[in-house]
Amino acid sequence: MKRVIVGLTGASGSLLAQSVIDQLLTLGHEVHFVASKLGEKVMAYELETPYETVLAAISSGSFPIDGMCIVPCSMGTLGKIASGITDTLICRAADVSLKERRPLVLMTRETPLNGIHLENMLKLSRYGAVIMPPVPAFYNRPQTVTAIVEQTAARALRTLGIMTEAYPVWNGEFGDVDE
Ligand SMILES: Cc1cc2nc3c(=O)[nH]c(=O)nc-3n(C[C@H](O)[C@H](O)[C@H](O)COP(=O)(O)O)c2cc1C
């Protein structure tokens, strides 16, 4: 059983957070969910069944955590983490993850990206964060938006060392597709 922080910010993509949490809970992992103020608003708009924000002892490095995923991660929160600003619980928990050398996955969501976004991503990547924009895989021919969301969430969990059924595996063969 792993203990994972899921941070949700005000970027579009609450469905991804919902899928990450559902897959973690289905496998029996412990989830500490935190939403930013804007994240709560966007989530209420995008999801029919919003999650409750649960505040926990995650602002301290002494609280053992196996990994953190910010999904979706806004450019605002990305910039704050890259600058060491810890004025929200999500930013503080991410800061702690970096200082304690714990896995930190940022599912950054914005397009197109400006130079500031790119520099912040590069900086955090150099300091150990995994920059993981929600880019879908199409080689396994997903038929629904739900399938795309689940697979994208599963890839983020794989980065935290958690394998789930939804993880898309390419078996190396094109099958009935002309090569
Ligand atoms: C409907 C909606 C969608 C948004 N989508 C994005 C987005 O995809 N990426 C992003 O960086 N900001 C997005 N924003 C802007 C952020 O919510 C805003 O920058 C906010 O201050 C981020 O704060 P937070 O990171 O603390 O949640 C969106 C705002 C709204 C209202």
User: pLDDT tens digits, residue range 109-154?
Assistant: 999 999 999 999 999 999 999 999 999 989 889 999 999 999 999 9
3-36 CB burial, b ≥16 within 10 A, e <16: bbbbbbbbbebbbbbbbbbbbbeeeebebbbbbb
Distance 52 CA to ligand 1 centre (A): 19
Query: How remote is the CA of residue 36 from the centroid of ligand 1, in Å?
Result: 10
Phi then psi for residue 41, to 5 deg, are -70, -50
**pLDDT band at residue 9, thresholds of 50, 70 and 90?**
very high
**pTM, two decimal places:** 0.92
pLDDT-derived band of residue 167, with 50, 70 and 90 as boundaries?
A: confident
Evaluate: CB of 42 within 6 angstroms of ligand 1.
Answer: yes
DSSP annotation of 95: H
- Please answer whether residues 103 and 79 qualify as being in contact, where contact means their C-beta atoms are separated by less than 8 angstroms: no
Which pair of tokens denotes residue 77?
């929160």
Residue 39 CA to ligand 1 center (angstroms) comes to 7
Q: Are 44 and 50 in contact (CB under 8 A)?
A: yes
CB 7 near ligand 1, within 6 Å: no
